[in-house]
Amino acid sequence: MNLIEEISNFLQSYCDCIDEQRYEEWCNFFIDSARYRVTTAENYSANYPIGLIDCMGKAMMQDRILGLLKANVFEPHTYRHILSFPIITNQLDSKIFVKTSFLISRTKQGAGASLFVSGFYSDELVKIENELKIANRIAVLDSSLIDELIVLPI
């Protein structure tokens, strides 16, 4: 496999993990010190530091999944991520910078599927023991308007 195929497979497995509701496994796509953010194009372009989610480290990601599984109240629903081809925007030493567009449809129990969010991931990937991991991911949503709530990872 060449690098771009490898990245493409990795990003797709991340989506499969969420879409197949294996939420406990989601954190494993990240290194321990990783940052995971979800924000909006409006905040991103205005350089506003607060978006919708900002996990500083894997522990905070685990807490979010704990909330999702044990505490938060919401109607059961699932996502389906559709990714664009990933573009490598830069490579520095062992860091690979990648940009990928996404569409996510949301399906609530007993309801139809509908487009939930669209946007792009801006990622910093690293290879650890020959395995790709996310060191930094920002999911930038095109719209600032969120329908109801976000509880599953983007």
Judged by the rule CB under 8 A, the positions of this chain that interact with other proteins are 38-40, 42-43, 48-57, 59-60, 62-64, 66-67, 70-75, 144-151
The nearest distance, CB 130 to other proteins, in angstroms, is 27
Task: Supply the DSSP symbol for 79.
Answer: E
Distance of CA 105 to the CA centre of its chain: 14
The nearest distance, CB 135 to other proteins, in angstroms, is 18
Q: How far is CA 12 from CA 16, 30, 35, 99, in A?
A: 6, 14, 19, 13
Of 6 and 63, the one with the shorter C-beta distance to other proteins is 63
The nearest distance, CB 148 to other proteins, in angstroms, is 4
Of 10 and 26, the one with the shorter C-beta distance to other proteins is 26
Burial of 98 (0-12, 13-18, 19+ CB in 10 A): buried
The nearest distance, CB 100 to other proteins, in angstroms, is 21
Of 7 and 104, the one with the shorter C-beta distance to other proteins is 104
Q: Count of alpha carbons within 13 Å of 62, Cβ hemisphere only?
A: 9
Of 87 and 149, the one with the shorter C-beta distance to other proteins is 149
Paired sense of beta strands 87-92 and 95-108, if any: antiparallel
The nearest distance, CB 153 to other proteins, in angstroms, is 10
Structure token pair of residue 125:
């990937």
Of 5 and 147, the one with the shorter C-beta distance to other proteins is 147
Cα–Cα distance measured from residue 133 to residue 147, given in angstroms and rounded to the nearest whole number: 30
